Structure 1
Amino acid sequence: MAAENIDDVIAGLAEIVARAVQTGDRVGYFAALYRQVTVEVRRAIHEGRFDDGPRMDRFDTHFGNRYFEAHAAWRRDRSGPRCWRETFGLLPDGDTVIVAHLILGVNAHIGLDLAVAAARTSPGAEIQALRRDFLLINDILARVVLAVQAAVGDVSPLLWLLDQVGGRGDEQILDFSIRRSREEAWHNAVLLAGQDDAGREATIERMDVRAAVLARLIARPGGLVRPALELIRATESHDVPAVITHLDHAMEQPAA
């Protein structure tokens, strides 16, 4: 599908989530997170929180279409960007924990697609005018991520082990991943916005390769993370439709 506005993006994500619930497809994990973020971005647009609401609608539409294109390419013939092939290729793997599927989606969509969408929305010198609205999305992401990570904790009770072995104390795992990825995405967006076609192609290729390498590291970590993931996997829910449904309603859950 090709979205024409943010409403289409939300409808498309809802369709992917609904199909995933019916089929037990783990693609619904990240799609549920992404749908809720997009709903909150649309709310912020309607509330006038962005400097340029129509521009953010276009931005979100470009961003969403990158995901839809990658998803369609994978379903069609297992093609698409390298980082998305790594991500979608792990969906049938019952040994990959829920939070890893979410981080893999974040890595591909923000590590590759976000900068491309930003540069397409605001090419050349226009990219600098996008910065404040780009950064404002961090606040929206943080709110949704806290809710989704709490929802993951409901179905993955030993998730806290990753904080312990990662040495980050109480820092939220998903929020940590997203914020770091978005910092690099802004740098790449500025770079892409000022390049010619050949330069952009080379930069996008480099971004894709890097995100694919990170995906492999996320999927197959070493050190103390590996035994922690084995414990997490052994105790978390394996009812994929139920997990997707729970994650997709994370923003409706009362705050702890």
Structure 2
Amino acid sequence: MAAENIDGVVDALAAIVRAAYAAGDRVGYFASLYRQVTVEVRTAIHNGEFDDGARMDRFDTIFGNRYFAAYDAWQRDRSGPRCWREAFGLVDRGDTIIVQHLLLGVSAHINLDLAIAAAETSPGQEIHGLHRDFQLINDILARVALAVQEAVGAVSPYLWLLDRFGGRTDEQILDFSIRQARREAWQNAVLLAGQTGAQRAETVDRLDVRAAVLARLIARPSGLLRPAMEIIAATESDDVPAVITHLDHAAER
């Protein structure tokens, strides 16, 4: 699948969410979060909140199409970028908790795809004109992430154990990790915007390797987090369609 504009991105994400709901597929967890973020970005474009709405439409479309390409590659023959293979490869594991699926998708999409999409949207010196609009998306992500995090808590009653044993605050589970990743993504976008050919391919490969390492850390925690996550997995809802529905309407609440 490939979208032609941000409306197409929203529609394609909604289709993935519907298919995941029907199949009881946990891939719908991240797709639900991503759909809501994209709807909010589209609303901000329509409201004139960005310096260049048409550019943000292009940017979001390129960004979305990288996710769709990774999704299609995985569905076709389990191929695609390393970090996305890590994320999609865990959707059938019953011991992976809801927030892990969300973070795996967020990590792959931001740590790999975001910089590439920004550099393709605004190559060369044009990248610097994108910075303010790029930063505005942080507020949208933070708003949706907080809503989704609260929704996760309703179906995962022992999620608070991550705070106690992981030494992190609620905001650091989703919001802060997103902000930190986006700061690094911007730096990589500036780098990629000034590169071509082999240089750019080498940078993209490096980003993919690093994102895959981060995915493995998210998927296979060590220390006290491991028993905490076993408790969370045993007590949170295993009704995948119900969880997808709950997450997919989090921002609307």
TM-score, normalised relative to structure 2: 0.99
Q: 1:161, CA displacement in angstroms?
A: 1.2
Question: Partners of 2:204 and 2:198 in 1: how far apart?
Answer: 10
Q: Does 1:52 align with 2:55?
A: no
What aligned pairs does 1:207-226 form with structure 2 within 5 A after superposition? 207-226=207-226
2:193 matched to which residue of 1?
Answer: 193
Q: Is the 8 A contact 1:146 1:172 kept in 2?
A: no
2:11 matched to which residue of 1?
Answer: 11
1:102 matched to which residue of 2?
Answer: 102
Change (3 A) 1:48 1:90: same
Q: Give the letter aligned to residue 157 of structure 1.
A: P
Range moving further from structure 2, 160-169 or 227-236: 160-169
Question: Partners of 1:31 and 1:83 in 2: how far apart?
Answer: 16
Residue identity over aligned pairs, in percent, reads: 75
Q: Secondary structure at the match of 1:251?
A: coil
Q: 1:17, CA displacement in angstroms?
A: 0.0
Question: Partners of 1:193 and 1:60 in 2: how far apart?
Answer: 17
Question: Partners of 1:48 and 1:10 in 2: how far apart?
Answer: 19
Q: Deviations over 1:136-176 (max 9, x none)?
A: 00000000000000000010011111112222344341112
Change (3 A) 1:220 1:170: closer
Unaligned 5+ residue runs, structure 1? none
RMSD: 0.8
Q: Secondary structure at the match of 1:48?
A: coil
Unaligned 5+ residue runs, structure 2? none
Q: 1:197, CA displacement in angstroms?
A: 1.2
Q: Does 1:25 align with 2:12?
A: no
Range moving further from structure 2, 177-186 or 71-80: 177-186
TM-score, normalised relative to structure 1: 0.97
Question: Partners of 2:220 and 2:176 in 1: how far apart?
Answer: 19
2:68 matched to which residue of 1?
Answer: 68
Q: Secondary structure at the match of 2:139?
A: helix
Q: Where in structure 1 do 4 or more consecutive aligned residues deviate above 6 Å?
A: none
Question: Partners of 2:233 and 2:77 in 1: how far apart?
Answer: 30
Question: Partners of 1:87 and 1:48 in 2: how far apart?
Answer: 34
Question: Partners of 1:81 and 1:168 in 2: how far apart?
Answer: 29
Q: Is the 8 A contact 1:63 1:113 kept in 2?
A: yes
What aligned pairs does 1:168-247 form with structure 2 within 5 A after superposition? 168-247=168-247
Range moving further from structure 2, 201-210 or 216-225: 216-225
Q: Deviations over 1:42-92 (max 9, x none)?
A: 000000000000000000000000000000000000000000001000010
Question: Partners of 2:57 and 2:14 in 1: how far apart?
Answer: 18
Q: Is the 8 A contact 1:24 1:241 kept in 2?
A: yes
Q: 1:27, CA displacement in angstroms?
A: 0.5
Q: Does 1:84 align with 2:47?
A: no
1:40 matched to which residue of 2?
Answer: 40
1:114 matched to which residue of 2?
Answer: 114
Question: Partners of 1:161 and 1:15 in 2: how far apart?
Answer: 33
Q: 1:179, CA displacement in angstroms?
A: 1.0
Q: 1:234, CA displacement in angstroms?
A: 1.1
Question: Partners of 1:94 and 1:231 in 2: how far apart?
Answer: 13
Q: 1:195, CA displacement in angstroms?
A: 0.6
Q: How many residues align?
A: 253
